């Protein structure tokens, strides 16, 4: 495999829209943070120390080839240019922190992109597994198997009383972050979203935008994840998140049915207008594009829009991001030119359809 294979297409396997409850849940993600006992943690390590940890981890990663995870390819961040790094960020395969780091970072990717392993980000190892729809348990099982492979080769930093040691205290213990990416347009339209998010915060869950911490929640897409990693087992954390997400799914579906019953004409008009704008606009900024795509996605789920797939919507979420737009254009673009190319990308993906 070559690196180009990972950035040629915007859509990863987890964006296929084929998972359970995919009308509301776009994806499930499990991420575990680990560090090596004998090395200084990345945020304090010098070049030589981080490079030694990198070499040991990449050597250990060769054992992945002897399991049924698919094929893997690894790339050091120093061999990638800025555009290539940010293409990986937009596909959720690496974090912005790793892309912008000057450390000896690397990423190990499975051929279907469901597994992404970051090296020398905030921690020595961040194992990430992403699957379409609500599949938290399956993603955890996969992440656990990969973690076992690395642990058989590496000496993790671990304390008998508190668990795995990490650079940030919020990850100490299990080192687990379980999250789901959800599309909640009806709860936003019916103004129920804030009260639901407030209730989640009270039980140790946190809500962020599509690209995690520090990102805005454009297009009614949110990431919901656990905030506590210490004092509970991984299974308890996943069970809690799974239960809450199931309730959110039901609230969102109920809100959609209510909108159809009580405001069907207005809702159809909103969705139809957004479809028309996306189909014919010659310029569109990222915020408006995200909102219009959310409207159309809702229309597909409610059978108001036909002939357009959820896969297309998921792919456009990524293809309309700045790095992918610049790759599409083949040149650096200013904000106005990006708006022009963004509209072009969307128009070419959405031809006029029957309603």
Any binding-site annotation on 177? yes
Residue 124 annotated as binding? no
Q: Was 121 annotated as part of a binding site?
A: no
Answer whether 275's CB lies under 8 Å from 299's CB: yes
H or E segment and range at residue 151: helix 136-151
Tell whether 52 is in a known binding site: no
The Cα–Cα gap between 286 and 341 comes to 11
- Contacts with 236 (C-beta within 8 Å, 6 or more apart), sequence order: none
In 3-state terms, what secondary structure has residue 225? strand
Residue 149 CB partners (closer than 8 Å, separation 6+) = 60, 63, 64, 67
φ, ψ of residue 36 in degrees (nearest 5) = -90, 135
Contact 147/127 with Cβ under 8 angstroms?
yes
On whether 34 is known to bind a ligand per the annotation, the reply is no
Residue 179 marked as a ligand binder = yes
Tell me if 30 is assigned to a ligand binding site. Answer: yes
Is 126 annotated to bind ligand? yes
Containing 143, the helix (H) or strand (E) segment is helix 136-151
Name which of 145, 121, 96 is nearest 108 in CA terms.
121
Is 12 within any annotated ligand binding site? no
Q: According to the annotation, is 28 in a ligand binding site?
A: yes
Q: Is 92 annotated as a binding residue?
A: yes
* Cβ atoms within 10 Å, residue 83: 14
> Is 213 flagged in the annotation as binding?
yes
Half-sphere exposure of 166 (CA within 13 A, CB side): 23
279 known member of a binding site: no
Q: Are 101 and 121 in contact (CB under 8 A)?
A: yes
User: For 16, how many CA atoms within 13 A lie in the half-sphere containing its CB?
Assistant: 12
Closest CA to 22 of 219, 259, 301, 299: 301
Residues annotated within the binding site are: 27-31, 92, 126, 177-181, 208-213
Residue set of the binding site for ATP = 27-31, 92, 126, 177-181, 208-213
């Amino acid at each position: 495999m070559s690196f180009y294979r990972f950035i040629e297409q915007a859509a990863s396997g987890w964006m296929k829209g084929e998972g359970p409850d995919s009308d509301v849940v776009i994806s499930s993600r499990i991420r575990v943070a680990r560090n090596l006992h004998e090395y200084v943690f990345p945020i304090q390590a010098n070049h030589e120390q981080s490079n030694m940890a990198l070499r040991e981890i990449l050597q250990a990663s060769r054992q992945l080839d002897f399991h049924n995870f698919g094929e893997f390819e690894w790339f050091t961040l120093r061999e990638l240019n800025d555009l290539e790094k940010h293409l990986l960020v937009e596909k959720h395969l690496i974090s912005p922190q790793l892309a912008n780091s000057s450390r000896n970072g690397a990423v190990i990717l499975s051929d279907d992109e469901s597994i992404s392993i970051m090296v020398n980000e905030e921690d020595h190892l961040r194992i990430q597994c992403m699957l379409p729809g609500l599949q938290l348990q399956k993603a955890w099982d996969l992440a656990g198997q990969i973690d076992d492979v690395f642990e058989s080769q590496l000496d993790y930093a671990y304390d008998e009383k508190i668990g795995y040691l990490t650079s940030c205290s919020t990850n100490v213990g299990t080192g687990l972050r379980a999250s789901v990416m959800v599309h909640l347009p009806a709860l936003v339209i019916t103004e129920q979203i804030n009260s639901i998010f407030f209730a989640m915060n009270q039980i140790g869950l946190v809500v962020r935008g599509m690209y995690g911490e520090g990102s805005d929640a454009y297009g009614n897409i949110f990431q919901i994840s656990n905030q506590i990693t210490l004092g509970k087992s991984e299974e308890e954390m996943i069970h809690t998140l799974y239960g809450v997400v199931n309730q959110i799914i039901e609230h969102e579906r109920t809100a959609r049915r209510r909108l159809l019953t009580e405001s069907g004409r207005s809702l159809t008009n909103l969705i139809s207008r957004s479809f028309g704008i996306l189909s014919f606009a010659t310029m569109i900024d990222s915020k408006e594009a995200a909102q219009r795509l959310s409207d159309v996605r809702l229309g597909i789920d409610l059978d108001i829009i036909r002939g357009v797939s959820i896969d297309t919507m998921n792919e456009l979420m990524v293809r309309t991001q700045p790095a992918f737009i610049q790759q599409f254009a083949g040149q650096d673009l200013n904000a106005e030119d990006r708006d022009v190319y963004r509209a072009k990308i969307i128009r070419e993906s959405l031809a006029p359809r029957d309603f």
